Structure formats: C-alpha cells, structure tokens
Amino acid sequence: MLETPPGLRVLHERLRARVASLGVGGVWWPADTDFEMIAGAILTQNTAWRNVEKALARMRSRSLLEPGALLATADAVLIDAIRPAGFHTAKSRYLRAAARWWVEEGSCPGYAQKLDDAQLRTRLLRIPGFGPETADVIMLYIFDRPMFIWDAYARRLLASVGYDVPGSYEAARRALSYLVDEAGLTVAELAELHGLIVDSGKAGSRPVTVPPRPHS
C-alpha cells in the first residue's frame, strides 16, 4: 500500500527545480581557503550561519583564518573574535585543534590519498570538535569524498517523504546509507544537495514533499 519514497536523486532534482524557480543559485559553501571552510564548519555548530559570518569576518580582520597565525594568537583574542558565533570558549579550543591538525597533517599533500573513506572518517573523528557531521562535511567539501550529510534538515526531509528515520545522525546514516549507494550521485551533486537541503529546510521555506511538477 505504501509507495516507495523517492530516492536521493529524485529529491535532488526536486530541490534543484524549486530553487531554480526561485532564482536562487550559486555555490553552497563559499570560502576562500580550505581552512576558512573548516573554521566555518566548527563555528556553525548549533549556530545560525548569519552569526558565523560575523565571526569569520572578525577572524579575517585579525588574520586568524591563517592557521599558523591562529595558533600563535592568545586565547583571549581568538575567543573575542568568534564571540558572535556563541560557544566561544569551546569553539576556540576546537579551532585550535583543527588548525594544529591542518598545519601538521591535513594540508599535507597525500594526507588522505592512501586512506579510504572509512579510514579518513575515523581519523577526522579523533580531532576534538569534529563530530560525525563536521567530519562528513569536511570529507565532502575538502577531500572530495562522496558523503551525504545526515544533518537535522536532511533527516526531517527524508522523514517527510516517508522514510523511517532514526533520531540521531549516526543512526540515520547507518540505517539509510543504502540510499547514497543507490543514488550514485557525484561529489559535486552531493555537495550541492547538502546546500539545497539546508536552504530548503530553513524557516520560511516551502516543504519539498510536494514537487513543483504539473498535476502531482
């Protein structure tokens, strides 16, 4: 009786069509450098992106988007710079750990080359401040791995179209990872898909459960 819910490829097409009709487009995660992207991934944890942008601007004006400079900066300066993003004491530690990792390992050519997806993920999860979502985001946007981001928006979307979605990030990933294999999306498509899902999930956006197609 219950129909099979749409796969990720169909959902991607629906979101694309909807966004195109709204005239919204462009790159999802704009960042001048890889480390800026990493910093954004940390700062955005449980934080509105609007406030992350303020924190990133304050970091930029203090040269703290250069990991070496960040590591040489006093805690108080870093904490003050990222204050608009909240959780500043915790996030300053996370940024420092990320900077250290990026300088010592992550940015080195060949760092990820001999690691498969699971091995790279395990490594990233050892870094303080890198939880499952942050690790997956960095794998997708920095290391070009074909990851789907199972964040709250994605889980709500999948639940709304009929999937039985476990409540936590990792449980959802385990239960529904077959969808990613089925869809066979490219890294570029997955990167765009995450952006479309987050964008569509924000308050004020229309749900995607009803696709913008003639006589559904």
Partner DNA sequence: TGCCAGGGATTAG
Partner DNA sequence: CTAATCCATGGC
Residues that bind DNA (CB under 7 A): 28-29, 40-41, 44-51, 83-84, 86-91, 127-135, 137, 151-153, 166-171, 198, 202-203
Read off the tokens for 84.
Answer: 């608009």
Cβ proximity to DNA, 132 vs 146, nearer residue: 132
Query: Which of 200, 184, 175 has the alpha carbon at shortest distance from 146?
Result: 184
Cβ proximity to DNA, 35 vs 169, nearer residue: 169
- For residue 131, the one-letter residue type is G
Cβ atoms of 147 and 140 within 8 Å: the answer is: yes
Q: How far is the CB of 76 from DNA (least distance, A)?
A: 13
Cβ proximity to DNA, 108 vs 152, nearer residue: 152
Cβ proximity to DNA, 90 vs 188, nearer residue: 90
Q: How far is the CB of 75 from DNA (least distance, A)?
A: 11
- For residue 122, the one-letter residue type is T
Cβ proximity to DNA, 49 vs 111, nearer residue: 49
Read off the tokens for 79.
Answer: 């904490």
For CA atoms 29, 32, 34, 40, give the dihedral sign. negative
Q: How far is the CB of 213 from DNA (least distance, A)?
A: 27
Q: How far apart, in whole angstroms, are the C-alpha atoms of residue 196 and residue 183?
A: 16
* Residue 47: C-alpha distances to residues 56, 127, 129 (Å): 13, 20, 14
Q: How far is the CB of 172 from DNA (least distance, A)?
A: 9
Q: How far is the CB of 6 from DNA (least distance, A)?
A: 22
Q: How far is the CB of 9 from DNA (least distance, A)?
A: 21
Q: At what angle do helices 187-201 and 152-160 cross, to 10 degrees?
A: 80
Cβ proximity to DNA, 61 vs 89, nearer residue: 89
Q: How far apart, in whole angstroms, are the C-alpha atoms of residue 126 and residue 104?
A: 14
